[in-house]
Structure 1
Amino acid sequence: MRYGPAVRRRKLGAELRRQRELTGMTSRQAADAVGWHQSKVSRIETGSSGAKPADVTRLLDAYRVSDPELRALLGALCGADSTGPGDGRSGSRRGWWYAYRDLLPSAYLDFISLESEASRSRTLETTVVPGLLQTPAYARAVTRAALGDPPERQVEELVRVRMARQSVLRRPRPLELCAILDEAVLRHEVGGPEVMAGQLGHLLDTGRLPHVRLHVLPFTRGNHIGITGPFVIFSFPRIADLDVVVLDHLTSSLYLERKEDLRAYGAAFTTLRAHALSHEESLEYIAEVAADRDRTR
């Protein structure tokens, strides 16, 4: 049986394998220590079957892992989390998104679960405002445009999910968000003048939060590596090997976990940020765009 989204299972398995290897145990010795068959340990470490919270606890006990933060993180990766809006990142209930499992594709569920456990998110957007920074009206317009002519109930449920995701910016230890926005994000007319006015104002308000950094890439900066398309890099507390790059496509998402991919996208993000306006300059630029729109309305 599989527990938790696929990306989380692979990340969990890789870290449990690393903890086992730090003890010098073989997979057979680990299995003997917890009273399992060796194949179960192997399946967990490869992410093919996942692990229940109790399984993770038994393995961490066998590996003598006492660090409470590490144990909490690995427990959350196997689904032992209570991340409802405004909650912390560890506990014993399912994530709030479980209630939407029949509505959302598995790739989106994977994305939300990773986002909920991440400590930092670096994102490049070339056409639309990132989901964590959208207003309900803007999210509604984007959803309608993406799905064509969906039923209104479906639109509202998807918008509700997007708003719930934003709780990561308001929790006691909020997600650190660094977003690079191509100027096209600010210029595209999404939902009409009033919707855009509200969205730009919301960007300014959210951009003043201490854990949010915005960087605008003006058209005048010319071609840059960002034209390859948007991406998100999730980072997790303490364990760099859990980082993952997410590339969004029209019908699915691609998850990159190899170290060479992480290095390449991390370097690309650093280069893009160097070409973009500073956070302070970006807020001024967004305010100027908003003022220009008001004058022409």
Structure 2
Amino acid sequence: MTGSSVVTRVVGACLRDARERRMMWPEQSADALGITVLALLALEEGTRRATPHDFDVLTGLYRCPGTPALRRLLDQPPDTHGVLNDREPGHARRLGACVASAGHIRWQSTTLLPGPLQTPHYALAVAEPPANRPGAPQPPARSAQYVLDQRIIQRGSKTARLMAGQLHHLLQLADTGTDIRIIPGTGPLTQPAGHLIELHLPGGTVWARPTEGAVAYSTSALFADTITASLARTSTAGTREALKRAASAHHDAPAERTTL
């Protein structure tokens, strides 16, 4: 079966992620299925739908965590608006697989810093499940762009000093090439509160909206316009100044101040 869809793109990214974590070459997986490497890569790109046999062989070969949940996702059609709602256990891990498989990412956030930008102390303070693969923390991808509302960096985590350290971390990331943009927080939010992630997967672009207990995936290009409009309100110089001002304000704040 062929044809790229939001379901096949997400499941394909998860299968590729599982293979890479097992440190297996595509040739090994293709041999196990009795197909060509190109056909195997098409499964991982989401341009070919995995059959039940394909799925069972690959997940058994990779010893995939959360295989039943991934199988239910494969069999779940998008809703009438074309949205695939992943409410299954392990949804954060599957989002992490999509993030790892994306050739380019645009990440807009209006409430909390995205997982790839968080220090361990910030992550602990906000108790947000990271969208990362298991194992050692991965540095932010050079192909990623992060668009943050200014009100995020004006808040603390559990203390203002903790947020000051987080902001110095953001400045260091910016100095080493991570594309971080701050939207001036003077107008209404350009999207509902939360994260909006544009993932350029091999089989096509998918937009993800993580919420508490679920991730909604869509192929609607309307989200691209939202991110592009927000980017138009930013500048590299303005971003650095905003980060420096916020870091200085948090660093100088009384130690007992809490802002979350």
Question: Over residues 152-195 of structure 1, what are the superposed CA-to-partner deviations in whole Å (9 max), with x where a residue is unaligned?
Answer: xxxxxx679678574253xxxx4511111111210222121221
SS in 2 for 1:219: coil
CA contact (8 A) 1:127 1:188 kept: no
Q: Aligned residue for 1:29?
A: none
| Partner AA of 1:219 in structure 2 | G
Q: Does 1:105 align with 2:105?
A: no
1:218 is displaced (CA, Å) by: 1.6
Q: Aligned residue for 1:273?
A: 231
User: For the structure 1 residues 10 and 192, does the alpha-carbon distance in structure 2 shift closer, same or farther, using more than 3 Å as the test?
Assistant: closer
Which protein has the larger Cα radius of gyration, Structure 1 or Structure 2? 1
Q: Aligned residue for 1:129?
A: 113
Q: Aligned residue for 1:234?
A: 199
RMSD: 3.7
Q: Does 1:213 align with 2:179?
A: yes
User: For the structure 1 residues 59 and 10, does the alpha-carbon distance in structure 2 shift closer, same or farther, using more than 3 Å as the test?
Assistant: farther
SS in 1 for 2:156: coil
User: For the structure 1 residues 60 and 268, does the alpha-carbon distance in structure 2 shift closer, same or farther, using more than 3 Å as the test?
Assistant: farther
1:243 is displaced (CA, Å) by: 1.6
CA contact (8 A) 2:122 2:163 kept: yes
Alignment counterpart, residue 283 of structure 1, candidates 240, 243, 248: 240
Alignment counterpart, residue 53 of structure 1, candidates 29, 50, 62: 29
Counterpart-to-counterpart distance in 2, 1:101 and 1:175: 31
Alignment counterpart, residue 158 of structure 2, candidates 179, 187, 191: 191
1:272 is displaced (CA, Å) by: 0.8
CA contact (8 A) 1:123 1:231 kept: yes
SS in 1 for 2:158: coil
User: For the structure 1 residues 280 and 206, does the alpha-carbon distance in structure 2 shift closer, same or farther, using more than 3 Å as the test?
Assistant: same
Counterpart-to-counterpart distance in 2, 1:139 and 1:10: 25
Q: Does 1:251 align with 2:175?
A: no
Q: Does 1:120 align with 2:120?
A: no
After TM superposition, the structure 1 stretch with the greater mean CA deviation from structure 2, 114-123 or 158-167, is: 158-167
- Of Structure 1 and Structure 2, which has the larger fraction of its residues in helix? 1
User: For the structure 1 residues 116 and 162, does the alpha-carbon distance in structure 2 shift closer, same or farther, using more than 3 Å as the test?
Assistant: closer
SS in 1 for 2:138: helix
| Partner AA of 2:211 in structure 1 | H
Question: Over residues 57-114 of structure 1, what are the superposed CA-to-partner deviations in whole Å (9 max), with x where a residue is unaligned?
Answer: 75546xxx5xxxxx78547559xxxxxxxxxxxxxx959xx67989x93311210111
Counterpart-to-counterpart distance in 1, 2:94 and 2:130: 18
- Of Structure 1 and Structure 2, which has the larger fraction of its residues in strand? 2
Counterpart-to-counterpart distance in 1, 2:211 and 2:131: 22
1:281 is displaced (CA, Å) by: 1.9
Gaps of 5+ in 1: 1-5, 14-51, 66-70, 79-92, 147-157
CA contact (8 A) 1:132 1:165 kept: no
1:128 is displaced (CA, Å) by: 0.8
| Partner AA of 1:218 in structure 2 | P
Q: Does 1:167 align with 2:129?
A: no
Alignment counterpart, residue 188 of structure 2, candidates 218, 223, 226: 223
Give the number of aligned pairs: 202
| Larger RCO of the pair (alpha carbons < 8 Å, separation 6+) | 2
Identity %: 21
Counterpart-to-counterpart distance in 1, 2:205 and 2:251: 41
| Partner AA of 2:29 in structure 1 | P
CA contact (8 A) 1:76 1:117 kept: no
Counterpart-to-counterpart distance in 1, 2:66 and 2:236: 35
| Partner AA of 1:209 in structure 2 | T
CA contact (8 A) 1:234 1:245 kept: yes
